[in-house]
């Protein structure tokens, strides 16, 4: 059975490049943002996708990324204006600013909200920051304002950090960078430390994504390759954790499929397929074949990445972002340099 | 910017007139007229060097022969040659070329801007920066930098009559 992909909606409203799109955890809303400095939230009315709310002038400069809180009641927005804002979304769809996370020296390029409530941000200033909602709630603050405390400033990357992505369940953060590496971060006692540095890409890593259960990572970027990474056991036991020591290793590389920089990669938590969006205007769907247990125990050589579908001219210009719907495995959203957001319906063979 | 001029006495090259022959189908709108290298060269040749009152063409930084156009794939590849291998202005010159083309070409063209191989000490770093569209987009939101770019590309649509 072959893969089919058809456009079900083209969302127009942004007046410049759309950099990012993010589904709400319940899969009903899509938040988009871009160079017009606005954030838009889209939802379905009957059969039609409509813009439910717009935050004009959400930031002073380009809004690079948005991210939903795990409960879907808030969004965080990262901007080139060096700030990250947190917004409250009421049941009626009203959007109110409740906090501004300040500290990065310049452009904030990515933001990710962990399942346990941490927010991670990353910036051209080469750092990754981890934030937590302050426990001293609303002291002397008006309305629903919130404070966020910075728990850590992580400075191991040597160049711009392009994106951060939390593990789907645990407090493990992945970041990727213009320095060609991916780094993993974890809390060790009271300190956040870089636990792994994943090297193999030969140029900027634009995007990383975790497999549905967090046992694998897929990455993509400027070297036109898609890579799979797995923790390969080293035979020793880590005295701190009591678990076998493992080294995150590049276990599979797909090259020769993309023609220009890959800006986005997303691993569906529902159907297990991987989507990429690239500067060649195409969206591609990949299937990663791997038996998780054998990978963790073995050398990972049994893994493969197969491009099962290529949708050319998905946008009239670069595809900046692809995002699988977290509830409906056959729905994908994409954002492009052509100022529009598209929603796609796919028919995919069951894996 | 500011400070000392790095290359106070650049070689100035004679500008040769490159012109297009009129042809019989010029007025026929039904004929698709794809962009060619000469057209792209015309867009960038009059950009001024950030440090000198000369154009990129006069300094031999931009050359017709360093432009490749692939109309089937809508790809344009441009190399430019900094006047000295340590030129700290290279990224800025590349940025000017990018901005000029962003404003002159239809959006579906994919443009790669690089320094000519072997012409710059930090070739890989300059190329990487110039082709990172996020960095370029962020740079263009920096009003001080944008002002410098605007100054370099001002009036670059038209040649001073030779």
Whether residue A299 has pLDDT greater than 90:
no
pLDDT at A142: 52
Instruction: Count the alpha carbons within 13 Å of A246 in the hemisphere toward its beta carbon.
Output: 21
pLDDT at B158: 66
| Chain A residue numbers touching B141 (CB-CB < 8 A) | 61-62, 80
Element spanning B94, H or E = helix B90-104
Burial annotation A41-62 (CB, 10 A radius, 16+ → b, else e):
bbeeeeeebebbbebeebbebb
The pLDDT tens digits of the residues spanning B91-129 come to 999 999 999 999 999 989 999 999 999 999 999 999 999
What are the C-alpha distances in Å from A195 to residues A112, A190, A191, A211?
19, 14, 12, 19
pLDDT at A42: 97
Mean of per-residue pLDDT scores for chain A = 93
The rounded distance, in Å, linking the Cα atoms of A117 and A125 is: 24
ipTM over 0.90: yes
Whether residue B40 has pLDDT greater than 50:
yes
**Which residue is associated with the tokens 């933001």?**
A111
**Closest in B132, B134, B141 to A61, CB measured:** B141
Whether residue B28 has pLDDT greater than 80:
no
pLDDT at B17: 66
| Under 8 Å between Cβ of A183 and A157 | yes
| Under 8 Å between Cβ of A344 and A5 | yes
Positive or negative, the CA dihedral A281, A287, A293, A294 is negative
| Chain B residue numbers touching A35 (CB-CB < 8 A) | 137
Q: Which of A177, A260, A278, A335 to probe the B interface (max B CBs under 10 A)?
A: A260
Strand-pair partners of A273: A287
**Closest in B108, B110, B135 to A260, CB measured:** B110
Range of the domain at A142: 4-347
Q: Where in B81-145 does DSSP place strands (E)?
A: 110-115
Angle at A88 between CA A86 and CA A94, to 5 degrees: 130
Whether residue A266 has pLDDT greater than 60:
yes
The chain B residue lying nearest A36, using CA atoms, is B141
- Provide CB contacts within 8 A for A249, sequence distance 6+: A229, A230, A231, A232, A300
**What are the counts of helices (DSSP H) followed by strands (DSSP E) for chain B?**
5, 3
Counting residues of chain A whose pLDDT is more than 90, the rounded percentage is: 84
Determine the average pLDDT of the residues in A232-253. 83
| Under 8 Å between Cβ of A267 and A218 | yes
Q: Classify burial at A159, counting beta carbons within 10 Å of its beta carbon; exposed 0-12, middle 13-18, buried 19 or more.
A: middle
The rounded distance, in Å, linking the Cα atoms of B157 and B103 is: 11
Q: What is the 3-state secondary structure (H, E, C) of A90-133?
A: CCCCCEEEEEEEECCCCCEEEEEECCCCCEEEEECCCCEEEEEE
Counting residues of chain A whose pLDDT is more than 70, the rounded percentage is: 93
The rounded distance, in Å, linking the Cα atoms of A217 and A181 is: 13
With H, G, I as helix, E, B as strand and everything else as coil, classify residue A22. strand
Whether residue B4 has pLDDT greater than 90:
no
**Closest in B107, B128, B141 to A203, CB measured:** B128
Is A317 in contact with B132 (Cβ distance < 8 A)? no
pLDDT at A34: 98
With H, G, I as helix, E, B as strand and everything else as coil, classify residue B37. helix
| Chain B residue numbers touching A124 (CB-CB < 8 A) | 135, 138
Kindly report the nearest CA distance between residue B3 and chain A, in angstroms. 25
- Domains within chain B, CATH numbers bracketed: 37-153 (3.30.300.130)
Helix B123-130 and helix B90-104, axial crossing angle in degrees, nearest 10? 30
**Count of domains for chain A:** 1
The pLDDT tens digits of the residues spanning A181-235 come to 999 999 988 899 999 999 999 999 999 999 999 999 999 999 999 999 999 888 7
pLDDT at A297: 44
Determine the average pLDDT of the residues in B66-73. 95
Positive or negative, the CA dihedral A169, A170, A171, A172 is negative
Q: Which of A161, A178, A264, A320 to probe the B interface (max B CBs under 10 A)?
A: A178
Element spanning A193, H or E = strand A191-199
Residue A89 belongs to a domain with what CATH number? Answer: 2.130.10.10
Element spanning A149, H or E = strand A148-154
Edge to edge, what strands does the sheet with A262-267 contain?
A262-267, A273-278, A283-289, A304-311
Is A17 in contact with B137 (Cβ distance < 8 A)? yes
Q: Which of A145-154, B23-32, B61-70 is least confident?
A: B23-32
The pLDDT tens digits of the residues spanning A51-65 come to 999 999 899 999 999
Mean of per-residue pLDDT scores for chain B = 88
Whether residue A161 has pLDDT greater than 70:
yes
Whether residue A78 has pLDDT greater than 60:
yes
Counting residues of chain B whose pLDDT is more than 90, the rounded percentage is: 66
The rounded distance, in Å, linking the Cα atoms of A12 and B85 is: 46
A203 touches chain B (CB under 8 A): yes
The pLDDT tens digits of the residues spanning A92-135 come to 888 999 999 999 999 999 999 999 999 999 999 999 999 999 87
| Chain B residue numbers touching A260 (CB-CB < 8 A) | 110
A307 C-beta neighbours (distance < 10 Å), count: 17
DSSP single-letter state for residue B48: B
């Amino acid at each position: 059975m072959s893969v089919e992909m058809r456009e079900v909606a083209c969302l127009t409203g942004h007046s410049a490049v759309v950099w990012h799109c993010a589904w709400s955890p319940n899969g009903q809303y899509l938040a988009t943002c871009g160079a017009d400095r606005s954030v838009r939230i889209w939802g379905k009315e009957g059969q039609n996708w409509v813009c439910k709310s717009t935050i004009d002038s959400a930031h002073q400069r380009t809004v690079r990324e948005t991210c939903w809180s795990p409960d879907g009641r808030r969004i965080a927005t990262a901007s080139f204006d060096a700030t990250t804002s947190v917004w409250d979304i009421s049941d009626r769809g009203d959007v109110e600013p409740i906090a501004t996370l300040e500290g990065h020296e310049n452009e904030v390029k990515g933001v990710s909200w962990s399942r346990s409530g941490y927010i991670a941000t990353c910036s051209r200033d080469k750092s990754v920051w981890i934030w937590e909602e302050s426990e001293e709630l609303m002291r002397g603050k008006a309305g629903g304002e919130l404070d966020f405390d910075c728990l850590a400033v992580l400075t191991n990357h040597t160049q711009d950090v392009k994106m951060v992505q939390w593990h789907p369940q645990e407090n493990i953060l992945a970041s990727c960078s213009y320095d060609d590496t991916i780094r993993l971060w974890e809390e060790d006692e009271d300190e956040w430390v870089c636990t792994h540095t994943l090297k193999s890409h030969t140029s900027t890593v634009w995007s990383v994504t975790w497999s549905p259960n967090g046992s694998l990572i897929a990455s993509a970027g400027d070297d036109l390759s898609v890579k799979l990474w797995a923790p390969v056991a080293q035979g020793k036991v880590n005295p701190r954790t009591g678990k076998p020591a493992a080294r995150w290793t590049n276990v599979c590389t797909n090259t020769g499929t993309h023609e220009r920089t890959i800006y986005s990669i997303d691993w569906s938590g529902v159907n297990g397929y991987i989507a990429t969006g690239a500067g060649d205007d195409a969206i591609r769907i990949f299937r990663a074949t791997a038996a998780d247990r054998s990978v963790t125990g073995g050398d990972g050589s049994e893994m493969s990445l197969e491009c099962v579908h290529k949708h050319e001219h998905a946008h009239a210009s670069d595809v900046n972002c692809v995002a699988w719907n977290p509830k409906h495995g056959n729905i994908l959203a994409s954002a492009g340099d052509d100022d529009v957001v598209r929603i796609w319906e796919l028919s995919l063979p069951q894996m | 910017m500011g400070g000392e001029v790095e290359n106070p006495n650049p070689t100035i090259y004679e500008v040769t007139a490159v012109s297009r022959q009129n042809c019989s189908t010029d007025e026929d709108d039904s004929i698709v007229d794809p962009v060619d290298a000469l057209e792209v060269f015309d867009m960038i040749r009059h950009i001024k060097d950030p440090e000198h009152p000369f154009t990129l063409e006069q300094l031999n930084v931009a050359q017709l022969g360093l432009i490749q156009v692939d109309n089937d794939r809508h790809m344009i590849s441009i190399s430019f040659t900094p006047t000295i291998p340590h030129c700290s202005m290279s990224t800025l010159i590349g940025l000017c070329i990018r901005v000029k083309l962003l404003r002159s070409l239809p959006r579906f063209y994919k443009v790669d801007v690089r320094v000519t191989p072997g012409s710059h000490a930090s070739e890989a770093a300059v190329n990487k920066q110039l082709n990172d569209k996020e960095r370029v987009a962020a740079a263009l939101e920096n009003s001080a930098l944008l002002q410098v770019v605007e100054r370099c590309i001002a009036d670059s649509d038209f040649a001073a009559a030779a």
